[in-house]
Structure formats: C-alpha cells, structure tokens
Structure 1
Amino acid sequence: MTEKLKSSAQRVQDCLTQAGYDFRVKQLLASTRTAEDAAHAIGCEVAQIAKSLIFKDKNTGDAVLIVAAGHHQVDLKKIKATTPFHLSKADADFVRDKTGFAIGGVSPIAHRHPLHILLDEDLKNYASIWAAAGTPNAVFELNAEILAQLTQGQWLSIH
C-alpha cells in the first residue's frame, strides 16, 4: 500500500470524511481495474467487489451508475423493464466527463456531476464490500447499508 493518495483517490477520501465516515482509501500496488483483479489484490470474494459501471440513458443522455456485485453481469433488458432507463454503453470520454474518473477507477461516490444510481441488491448479502476509489488501484471498504446512504441509490436486481 502506498502512502500519499493520488488526487482522484483523495477526492473520494474527502467525500467520505465530509460525510462523517472514517473509512480509509487504500492505494494498492496491484491493479484493481477489474473485479477479479480487485478481489485478488484485496483477498476477498469477487462478489464482494462493488463494481461501478457507467451507462448512458438513450432517452435523456444522462449518466446512470450501476453498482454491481463483482460476479454479476448487468442485464440491460431487465433494467429497461424495471426502470425508466434505456441504457447503452458509455465511452471513456463520457465516463470521465460525468464522473471525473477514468474507467477502471470509477467510485460510487464523489462524482463531478449528479448521477442516477442503481444498486445491485445482492451486495446486501455481504457484511463487507469493496469499492473503487478514483484510480485503478485505489479501494475502500464499507457495507451495503452505508453504500446506500452515501449514494442515495435505488436497490434492484440487476442480473
């Protein structure tokens, strides 16, 4: 683990601190770019990784963040049937513009602009989950209840 946080990771740490939580962003030497990489670097199950996926709503052009358990694929047809969103894949420029983070380091918090946020209800099955913290090797540990408090996201089945 490295000491000084990169600016994007520091933004996440500042958001956590300002929200009154004492969680600490950790910068690991190994990559956490994918859920599998993160689970290996942290030493947890892939399902405990809260991966942040940004989509673009075809109806409005808004960014939609889905925070999914690391072992799940998002079922876009199910999302369309259960929400007002019609999602498409977002490109790297859209992700960076809307969140302030690069793909592979998108945090569920501390975004540049407000986002619509959907949370994978399966994350509630774990006492501890890990989320990206602004860079491809920064993470922080929390639980599903606090994830919901921090993001004000909507719980649903995403797969």
Structure 2
Amino acid sequence: MWNGDGTVEVNGFRVFYSEVDCVRRIFERHPETALNVRPKNQMVKNAYMNNILDLIDIICLAPQELTEEELRDAESTLLDLEEVGFKLDWLKTKLEELCVKKKKMDERGARMRELDGMIVEQRQVLWALETQLKNEENEAVSDSARLGFEDVV
C-alpha cells in the first residue's frame, strides 16, 4: 500500500519504494522473520527494518572490504534485533560465514606475507651463493692457468 510519504507498507513495515522488492523477498523466504516483533511504534519498526537491510548490505560485501570492528558492530546489531523479537537465524548464519571467511582471509594474507618474506630471504642467500660460486670459478680459472715463460723467469 502506497503511503503519500514515498514509502510502501510491506508486512507492517513502511519501506521506501526502492526497497520493496528486497523486503518482500525477505518475508517470502523467511516468513517467520517478524512474527514476534514486540515494538508497535511504526518509526521504531521502520528503523529495525532499515537495520536488517543494512546488515544484508554488509553481508553482501567482500570480506576484505570489512574491518573487524564493522563485523563486531554487525553482530551486535543482529543481537539487538533478535532481542526485540526478530527471528534472524538465516541472517546470523550468513554473518557467521562472513566472519569465518574474513578470519581465513586474514590468516591467509599473513601466511602469504610470511612466505613472501621467506622467498626474499632465500633469494638473498641464493644471490650470495651465486656470487661465491663465481668468485671460486674465477680463482679456479686463475689457479689452473699455465704459466708462461715470462711468468717463470
């Protein structure tokens, strides 16, 4: 239902027209989402729905685009929403998956930096060995050269 303020009512929540499809899809796939929501104040309900949409936007980001603090804030927001009656197990699962991916990605990045450092060190060792080998070859050539008459006399 269109409300003259640029919003549409979907399952008791007023959302902007641009969000209607998203909110409808939430309720189609997860009809239990707002069955036990306690707040009756429309503005409070709208704010909660905006929080859910913001969480979905966060979860849609790549792990490297998020900080640990942003993920903690998202987890806190999710808990707040559950406390007022939203059933968001589906969203919680996705957020947990994102946190695991972020942790793995951070660990993998640290391991990659460690390996890169080891490669640099080994290249330096190899370069030093190659230099020593060239010096030994030069000395071997010098030591194995025949002496000429002038060198002896």
TM range (shorter): under 0.3
With normalisation by structure 1, the TM-score equals: 0.27
Larger Rg: 2
> Which structure shows the higher helix fraction?
2
> Which structure shows the higher strand fraction?
1
With normalisation by structure 2, the TM-score equals: 0.27
